[in-house]
Amino acid sequence: MELIEKIIDDKIQGKALVTENKAENSKKLFIESYGCQMNMNDSEIVAAILDKEGYNTTQILEEADLVLVNTCSIREKAETTVRKRLQKYNAVKKVNPKMKVGVLGCMAERLKEKFLEEEKIVDLVVGPDAYRDLPNLLGEVSEGRDAVNVILSKDETYGDVSPVRLNSNGVSAFVSITRGCDNMCTFCVVPFTRGRERSRDPKSILEEIQSMIDKGFKEITLLGQNVDSFLWFGGGLKKDFKKASEMAQATAVDFAQLLDMCATQFPKTRFRFSTSNPQDMSLDVIHVMAKHKNICKYIHLPVQSGSNAMLKAMNRQHTREEYMQLVDNIYKIVPEMSLSQDIIVGFCGETEQDHKDTLELMEYVKYDFGFMFAYSERPGTLAGKKMEDDVPAAVKKRRLQEVIDLQQEHALYRTQQHLGKVEEVLIEGTSKKNPNEWKGRNTQNTVIVFAKEHYKLGDFVNVKVEDCTSATLRGTAVGYSDNN
């Protein structure tokens, strides 16, 4: 039990991902995942595909037949980290030449030649839309040939692949609902590495959720680069409709409808979703959130900058005023909503006034959480090609610190609002600091720790909040919630 809990508590990123082994599988897969939750979920899809090829997962690099690293390109630092890991794998490969090394995910397309031909540090390169081709590519590798498939697809959603849950706590899981991104923010490499945006068939989403619930999962996070622009045309029989437009209207499912379907069909399951783009978030979604207790009151709503000049240069499809209007509407419809941001400081041409606009916008929203970054130029993006990365590193660093400090203040302000309240918490694991305490999250996504007593992993418990830091609430359980 202790070991299992340790694995659960470990950070997912950059750790060997494992699941229960099958006796009939004879080969060993060591798989690591870097970057976002989409990548993590993709690694689970890869594990499912390779399970059928006879691979069990392992945490021991030295015993692996196949080593795969699912890579991230979002900032330069993410790429540097992956490169270091590839060096490590190659050192092990020198001792165990039978071992094969593959690169998956976002670095695949851009660096395939470099990895395979120039540096010869990998045997296999597979892009995010080509995982079904893995068995075939592994065949090539076993015959001594390098294998590569980085073709991006317009329709691949892996809708029918049931992911193998890796490093799972058995309580919360991710289900991908869209892939790719069509937004073309000028700083971002994602549209190039992950391709065009596409939505998954709602039927396969609901089936996957049902199978997760059958396995005991209590919380599902619907994932996509841009979940609010989810749109599925399909279903229904053509002959039932007179015109194509009528059919499309009658059978299209948008994000608000999908969320409503999920929450209605599975009333005891908690739902979260990420990421929301301001321009695509409709009031319908917020009303659906207000309607269902089991949709968590938390929205990750990246703003990137509080300055209209920067938003324009970034090709964001919203202004500062539109964003603030959306936030007003959100707080009006769901006053207890928690919000988080992504902010980039030091984008091309960012002036001191632009930076002040960002701080001011943060003051207006008072985000519960934030993810803040210094701009990192990415090859191939419009900003990388056409704009000058002209904010000096020291200025970026200072602005980043100011944004982080302000976020810290707001986070504390937000956690303090929970003091004295009784809140429903889903138990997700043992607290890192104290083995006698559980940790879980309230509907707003704030972490709460409390004494374990007789409660179990996966229970919904009412907890009275008694203390807080800017990141964590502390409290005492007062009984089971009515959701058990």
Q: Which positions from 319 to 358 touch ligand 5AD by CB under 6 A, shown as an x/- string? A: -----------------------x-x--------------
Closest CB 433 distance from ligand 5AD, rounded Å = 28
Indicate the SS3 state at residue 354: helix
Q: Is 262 annotated as a binding residue?
A: no
Nearer residue to ligand 5AD within complex by CB, 56 or 304 = 304
Closest CB 187 distance from ligand 5AD, rounded Å = 4
Closest CB 225 distance from ligand SF4, rounded Å = 4
Given the DSSP bridges, would you call strands 100-105 and 422-430 parallel, antiparallel or unpaired? unpaired
For residues 289 and 162, what is the distance between their CA atoms, to the nearest angstrom? Answer: 27
| Short-list 188, 273, 279, CA closest to 229 | 279
Indicate the SS3 state at residue 461: strand
| Short-list 451, 470, 469, CA closest to 461 | 451
Contact of residue 468 among ligand SF4, ligand 5AD, none (CB under 5-8 Å per partner type): none
What's the chain's length in residues? 484
Question: Is residue 110 at the binding interface for ligand 5AD, with CB under 6 A as the rule?
Answer: no
For residues 137 and 124, what is the distance between their CA atoms, to the nearest angstrom? Answer: 7
Alpha helices (H) in 252-291, listed in sequence order: 255-265, 283-291
For residues 388 and 341, what is the distance between their CA atoms, to the nearest angstrom? Answer: 25
Q: Which amino acid is at 470?
A: S
Closest CB 307 distance from ligand 5AD, rounded Å = 15
Q: Which positions from 58 to 77 touch ligand 5AD by CB under 6 A, shown as an x/- string? A: ----------------xx--
Structural tokens at position 126: 């597979």
Q: Is 296 annotated as a binding residue?
A: no
Among the listed ranges 21-29, 359-367, 373-381, 468-476, the one in contact with ligand 5AD (CB under 6 A) is 373-381
User: Residue 208 in contact with residue 143, Cβ under 8 Å?
Assistant: no
Burial class (CB in 10 A: 0-12, 13-18, 19+), 242: exposed
Question: Is residue 376 at the binding interface for ligand 5AD, with CB under 6 A as the rule?
Answer: yes
Q: Which positions from 179 to 218 touch ligand 5AD by CB under 6 A, shown as an x/- string? A: --------xx------------------------------
Question: Is residue 53 at the binding interface for ligand 5AD, with CB under 6 A as the rule?
Answer: no
- Residues found near ligand SF4 in the complex (CB under 6 A): 181, 183-185, 188, 190-191, 225-226, 277
Residues within the annotated binding site for [4Fe-4S] cluster? Answer: 36, 72, 106, 181, 185, 188
